[in-house]
Chain A
Amino acid sequence: MPLFQKIFFAVLLVLTSVPEAQAAVFNPTTFTLKNGMQVVIVENHRVPVVTHMVWYRVGSADEGPGETGIAHFLEHLMFKGTKKRKPGEFSQIVARNGGQENAFTSTDYTAYFQTIATDRLEMVMEMEADRMTNLVITDKEVEPERLVILEERRSRVDNNPGAILGEHINGALFLNHPYRNPVIGWEHDIKALDIKRIMAFYKRWYAPNNAILVVAGAITAEQVRPLAKKYYGRIPAQPPVVRNRAKEPPQKAARRVVLRDKRVRQPSWRRSFLAPTLQWGDKTHVYPLEVLSNILGGGASSRLYRRLVVENKTAVSSGAYYRGDDRGPGRFVFYASPRGNVTMDALEVAVVAEITDIIKNGITAEEVIRAKERMVAEAVYARDSLSGGARALGAALASGLSIDDVESWPDNIAAVTPKQINEAAKALFDNNRSVTGLLLPARES
């Protein structure tokens, strides 16, 4: 499984793992500063530590033509200097104070975080607020960083045939929506981005009214409020920016993408269907599809694993997953890898038979009850980690969802009926809105 997916799963797990229906999920407190910056606090008092995160409502899908990778490039450059601090000083100060930090960019958001002793929160807040508007970058920082990012691209994509195929599947699955471009950007764009464009992007998107502050850990909202006001509250709001993305047209043809690569030792198959999300398409199908993906691909006793891997012995691995929390179009993906001498054709027939079975015969009430119980029970684990709630809430808010979307998740899952799932499946599994991707070894020459 590509790294992207693995990491995505971790996030999905947080978003979809919440406590019993009727119970609250992360119980966050929230308020908004006068300049429009939303603040969210999730208390967790196990150790005297906080995770401090700033999320920007901008990701790779908000990039303009010819500037793919700019959101991620900027994320790297945010660790360089500001008017107040030399390049690298931010990281030095965090480390010197026993803190850990990082940042990440996705299609829908960019986030920066530090985990540090609670009594150092004010210090990192001051520095994070500083770099929201005071970034200073010169060629001296940009050029080595460009090389670093090109290395990052090589290690994530070019050295990995599965990731190369993934880029091509995305390009085929999204005809026009910017999700077709990789988060890290195309190599020629990374090479061409200049300071002027990067700074313009920074000035346009990095502002308090386009950001969310999330603090999780051993702290209360009463303690966070004055600090948030002091450091973030003094930054003036900017003119609001609209996330105006190219729209996806109706899809009318099945697509097939095949990568043959001599580095591939084990072939694999997957089919991705364009799917609704809470902000795109028919959102009433979202929760039913989440339950469906758990029934199909939730684990070793799920349908696909049981039938293809355990019973038929067609596949060495098989499953399904669903991304229903993106801002734009989502995807519902089936995947499998053949066992022994099973051909790719036979494998495809076997997976397609499962998809057809769902459309024709639906799923059983018992399967739905089991899946819902599992999903709701798993929820308790989500609160165990310090950053789990912060990540789930930050990602939801920065993508355009609300705290309530996260907090009411258990109720929404508990309310799903078999009928809704069967309707959602019928509407979804249309090959004309799908891409089938095959990763194959090179032909013998």
Chain B
Amino acid sequence: MWSVIIILVISILITVFEGRTLLKEKKWKELCTFSVLLLAGCILNIVVSIGIEVPTPLEWIRMIYGL
């Protein structure tokens, strides 16, 4: 439980730290990429810290090359 709270706090801190300047300079494309990355990172972090098994992305590469 604590780890989830810490992850959320850090994400909010990063948003405040970076997102504010992006918003002020009206860089929408940067803001969009930034939010997508941060959201993905946040969700994956929570998923891992809760202990849900996630299949490794390397398995996909292995399948693509047929090994």
A binds B: no
- Could you tell me which A residues sit within 8 Å of B by CB distance? none
